[in-house]
A and B are shown apart, each in its own frame.
Chain A
C-alpha cells in the first residue's frame, strides 16, 4: 500500500515536472492557447451553466480567459491544472452573477446550445441526445447557485476532494453539498 502510494506520488511528480518543462518552452500566448485547447470546453460549459444569454455567456468566457491569462505567471504546476482553471472559471462566474443580477435576460439557453455532431446511430438518436443535453443544461441553470457550483464540477468529473478545493470548503461539506446538488438536479430533470 505504502509502496503503491509512493509510486503514485513519484508518477505525479514526474507528470508535474514534465508539465513544467513543457510550459517553460511556450510563450505566454502559446501556453494560453494550449490550455484552452485542452480545457476550453470546461470553461464554456461552466460559463453557460451560469449565464443563459448568448452574448453575455461569450463575454463571461472571454473574462475567464483574461483571468487565466493574468493568473498563469503564478501557476507553477503544483496544483492540478483543471482545478486551477475551474477555480478561476467559477470565481469569474460568481463575479458575473453578482454584476449581472440586475440586468434583464434576453436570449434563452435553447438558442445557444450548439447542435453538435454526434456519434448516435441515427438522426433521431442524435436529436434525442441534443434534446436530453438541453434539458440537462436547463436543469443545471435553474439550480440555486451553491448547488449549481457543486453540480457543474461533479458533471465535469471532479472528485469531492477537488470540489472542496475549488469551493474552499471541507471535503465532508463538499460531499453533503454534492449529494444535495445531485438530488436537486435529478428532481429538476424529472420535472422537465
Chain B
C-alpha cells in the first residue's frame, strides 16, 4: 500500500461530511431521567423503612410463628436493600476514558452482575423453600385458631407467587448478564491481540 493510496482513502473517507443536529431532545430526556432515578432511590428507601417496620410489627404479634415470619421478612428486606446499594455502587468508567479502560470497567460490572444474578437466584430458592417449610409447619401444627388455616394458605400462596415472579426475572437477568459477559470477553480478547 503506497502513501498515495492511503492519502486518497483518507480524503475519500473524510469527504463524507454528514451533519447531525445535536440530540438536545435526548439530552433533555436524560435530565428528566435523573429525576426519575432520584424518585426510584427515594421509593427504595421508603420501601426499606416500611419493610423493616412491618417485620418488627409481625415479630411483636402474638401470632404463631410470628418471630420466624418477621425475622424472615426482615432478612429479605435487608437483603433487597443491600442488593440495591451494592448494584448502585458499581464503578462506571467515565465516557472519556480510553477504550480499553472502559471495556475493563464494563467487564468488571458484568462479572459482578453475573455474581449478583447467581446470588439472587439462590436467595430466591431459599425464600421459596422457607415459604414451603412454613406452610408445612403451619399445616402440621394444629394450634391455629378456627379460620386461620385458610388465611395462612392465602398468605403462603401470595408469597409463593411473588417468589416465582421474582425468580423468573432473576433467571432472565442472569442469562442476559451471562451473554453480555461473553460478548465483552470476546471484545476484550479481540482488542488485546487485534484479531477477530
Residues of A in contact with B (beta carbons under 8 Å apart): 29, 32-33, 36, 40-41, 43-45, 48, 58, 61-63, 65-71, 74-75, 84, 87-88, 90-92, 94-95, 97-99, 101-102, 113-114, 116, 118, 129, 132-133, 136-137, 140, 144-147, 149-150, 154-157, 165-169, 176-177, 180-183, 185-186, 189
Contact, CB under 8 Å: B1 / A144: no
Q: A74-B96, A145-B190, A147-B194 are in contact. Are A186 and B13 (CB under 8 A)?
A: no
Residue numbers in A under 8 Å from B106 (CB-CB): 95, 98
Residue numbers in B under 8 Å from A29 (CB-CB): 22, 24
Can you spell out 19 A-B residue pairs with CB atoms less than 8 angstroms apart?
A32-B27, A40-B19, A45-B13, A65-B20, A69-B30, A71-B94, A87-B97, A88-B95, A94-B102, A101-B183, A114-B18, A133-B12, A149-B99, A150-B194, A154-B10, A155-B9, A156-B14, A181-B194, A186-B5
Contact, CB under 8 Å: A168 / B196: no
Contact, CB under 8 Å: A84 / B9: no
**C-alpha gap A75/B95 in the complex (Å):** 11
Residue numbers in A under 8 Å from B9 (CB-CB): 136, 155, 185, 189
Residues of B in contact with A (beta carbons under 8 Å apart): 1, 5-6, 9-10, 12-24, 26-27, 30, 93-103, 106, 179-180, 183-184, 187, 190-191, 193-196
Partner of B27 from the list A69, A133, A149 (CB cut-off 8 Å) is A69
* Interchain Cβ contacts within 8 Å, total number: 153
Point out which of A33, A41, A165 has the most chain B C-beta atoms below 10 A from its C-beta: A41
CB distance from A103 to the nearest CB of B (A): 12
**C-alpha gap A165/B19 in the complex (Å):** 26
Q: A36-B22, A182-B1 are in contact. Are A87 and B98 (CB under 8 A)?
A: yes
Residue numbers in B under 8 Å from A155 (CB-CB): 9-10, 13-14
